[in-house]
Amino acid sequence: MRELYATIDLGSNSFHMLTAALEHHEIKILESTSEKVMLAEGLDKTHGIHPDAMQRGLDCIARFAQRIEAIPKDNIRIVGTNTLRAAINAQEYVDEIEKVLGVNRIDIVSGIEEARLIFLGVNHSWSGLDQFTKNLVIDIGGGSTEFIIGKNFKLKQAESLRMGCIAFQRYFPNLEINNKYFSRAVRAAKFELSNIKSDYHESTWDYSIGSAGTFKALERILVEQGLTKEGITYKGLKALKQQVLEFKSMHELDIVGLKPSRQKTIVPGLAITMAIFKSLNIKKLHISRGGLREGILYDLLGRLKSEDVRQRSITAICRRYNVPEFRSNLLARICKKLAKNTTSKYPLSGFHLKLLKWSAQCCRIGLAINHSQFQNHSAYLIRNSELSGFSIRERKILAAIVANQRRKVNLAPFDLIDLTVKEKYKLVQVIFLLRLASIIGKNGKPNRSNHLNVEFKSSTIILCVEEKWLSKHPLIQHALALESMYWSKADFNVKISLV
């Protein structure tokens, strides 16, 4: 059976779309397209994304929407990067994009998560991959540049610097070109690179690879001018710089191999690339045709078909903070049983069941800091840790769930996350089941969950409990009475029905 998938990368410079088919366990790319949106152009700390850039993006998304309308919503993943991380009006813009696409979730990822996805895409796309060598992968975007070192498919270290071919236009006032402005841009890039220079110097990797975008455009120019057969060299970059400096404005740029759509971004991209070559002592940069959008695709397939990297991240953070495995797995098993014994107008989706499992496994990591208010310490660690596979929004949701595992019920953090009423109610269910599991699993026996059923009816939560069993467990009876009080202060009525 043929299954269709699509990914969209909402970059600071371009929006990219990829559609693919999974047939006989093989991925076939059906369409790969990009449009220059220059979302970061005119980005302002006070006003955010410029209205003109917003409109260019929405027009592009409308065209993408027509191409993916036949693809199941669960098989589509959309990721936003640096500009949508930084802009004060990012959420407003994301809401508009979601309306056009007819989806209800766009994942805004951190710089490190973006780097991981780029690395995944390069590894799946680059024919020269050698499982025995350490590779340095670099991707220059519109607002940030990612650096990754890894071997085969295993990422060793990653960094994201706030320098990109749109962001660095600020060093070229009115898009004018001269040696003074170019040198200033190179110095600025070298300054950013000084923070990672020792960790990413040539002694730490065997092979350097540039991911699509700016590097692909530079290679095209160098190849068409006969300055290289493939890849990018510093000698070729120096020759290109001399050509660029013959023009006074980016609007006038007309050199062999340069596409008109790259006219405004190639000069800042060239300056950043030359700084990277010098700072990291790169002799030659090989070019991969794949990058972020391919990485998003393979990550999506991993979630749906095999291993969800987010589970690996939860397991890792539990080990880092010495949570006993038997304890985290016990709580997760109780939560799973309780979820099966739950009825609601809005049943928990697969994603919400995963949230329930993950929160059960990692809710006690805060004990590594202090027992007092450990639920808040756990939430802090989740919110501020790099968890591979998780978007920024998913981290916030997971942290808010974990913060509510005991004591006072505080749903206010969900108001700061763009959620529908239905989504928020599902998260209330997750929190209630997590708290209930913590109460009945204190003595380490998972079978206690067989004596309870939960029914969610709007603001009323009905907990059906076997009367004979409850009478034998006075501590649980007391804890449930307290639970009813905590939820009443959050405007929920918990009714305990004895059967």
Q: Sketch the domain layout of the chain as residue ranges.
A: 3-108, 112-292, 307-446
Residue 81: closest CA among 192, 213, 185, 248: 213
Q: Which token pair is 224?
A: 């068409």
Confidence bin at 447 (pLDDT 50/70/90): low
pLDDT digits (tens, 9 = 90+) for 328-374: 899 999 999 999 999 999 999 999 999 999 999 999 999 999 999 99
Taking the CB of residue 183, how many other CB atoms lie within 10 A of it?
12
Confidence bin at 152 (pLDDT 50/70/90): confident
pLDDT at position 132 over 80: no
Q: How would DSSP label each residue in 406-420?
A: SSS---HHHHTS---
Taking the CB of residue 238, how many other CB atoms lie within 10 A of it?
12
Pick the more confident residue, 447 or 99: 99
Cβ-contact 82, 12 below 8 angstroms: yes
Amino acid at 286: H
How far CA 259 is from CA of 38, 83, 99, 176, 214, in Å, comes to: 15, 24, 32, 19, 11
Alpha-carbon distance of 209 to 139, in angstroms, equals 9
**Taking the mean position of all CA atoms in its chain, how far away is CA 422?**
23
Q: What share of the chain is helix, strand, coil (3-state, %, to 5)?
A: 50, 20, 30
Could you confirm whether domain 307-446 is CATH 1.10.3210.10?
A: yes
Alpha-carbon distance of 335 to 431, in angstroms, equals 10
Q: Which token pair is 409?
A: 């019920």
Alpha-carbon distance of 31 to 64, in angstroms, equals 11
Reduce the DSSP state of residue 155 to 3 states and report it.
Answer: strand
Alpha-carbon distance of 400 to 124, in angstroms, equals 35
What percentage of the chain carries pLDDT values higher than 70? 97
Cβ-contact 267, 244 below 8 angstroms: yes
**Taking the mean position of all CA atoms in its chain, how far away is CA 462?**
37
Which of the residue ranges 125-139, 398-412, 448-462 would you say has the lowest mean pLDDT?
Answer: 125-139
pLDDT for the residue numbered 42: 84
Confidence bin at 450 (pLDDT 50/70/90): confident
Residue 57: closest CA among 104, 96, 87: 96
What percentage of the chain carries pLDDT values higher than 90? 81
Q: What is the mean pLDDT of residues 16-37?
A: 90
Confidence bin at 400 (pLDDT 50/70/90): very high
Strand order in the sheet with 452-457: 342-344, 452-457, 460-465, 493-498
Torsion of CA 230, 232, 236, 241, to 10 degrees: 130
pLDDT at position 47 over 80: no
pLDDT at position 444 over 70: no
Amino acid at 317: I
Residue 408: closest CA among 385, 425, 382, 431: 431
Pick the more confident residue, 315 or 1: 315
pLDDT for the residue numbered 153: 82
pLDDT for the residue numbered 399: 98
Residues with Cβ within 8 Å of residue 255, at least 6 apart in sequence? 221, 225, 240, 243, 244
pLDDT for the residue numbered 18: 95
Confidence bin at 441 (pLDDT 50/70/90): confident
Cβ-contact 331, 363 below 8 angstroms: yes
pLDDT at position 434 over 70: yes
Residue 123: closest CA among 295, 313, 7, 303: 295
Alpha-carbon distance of 58 to 51, in angstroms, equals 10
- Neighbouring C-alpha atoms within 13 Å toward the C-beta of 147: 26
Residue 230: closest CA among 222, 239, 240, 238: 222
Residue 411: closest CA among 427, 398, 423: 427
Q: What is the mean pLDDT of residues 78-105?
A: 92
Strand residue runs (E) in 320-465:
342-344, 452-457, 460-465
Confidence bin at 327 (pLDDT 50/70/90): confident
pLDDT for the residue numbered 183: 98
pLDDT digits (tens, 9 = 90+) for 226-245: 999 999 999 999 999 999 99
Q: Which token pair is 359?
A: 């929160």
Q: Which token pair is 348?
A: 């928990």
Alpha-carbon distance of 30 to 34, in angstroms, equals 14
Q: What is the mean pLDDT of the chain?
A: 93
Cβ-contact 143, 12 below 8 angstroms: yes
Residue 39: closest CA among 60, 68, 62, 65: 60
Return the CATH superfamily for domain 112-292.
Exopolyphosphatase. Domain 2 (3.30.420.150)
Confirm whether 3-108 and 112-292 share one CATH topology: yes
With residue 208 as reference, give the H or E element that holds it. strand 207-211
In angstroms, what is the C-alpha Rg of the chain?
26
Cβ-contact 87, 176 below 8 angstroms: no
pLDDT at position 485 over 90: yes
Residue 264: closest CA among 2, 498, 56: 56
pLDDT digits (tens, 9 = 90+) for 266-308: 999 999 999 999 999 999 999 998 899 999 999 999 888 767 8
Q: What is the CATH number of domain 3-108?
A: 3.30.420.40
Taking the CB of residue 73, how many other CB atoms lie within 10 A of it?
12
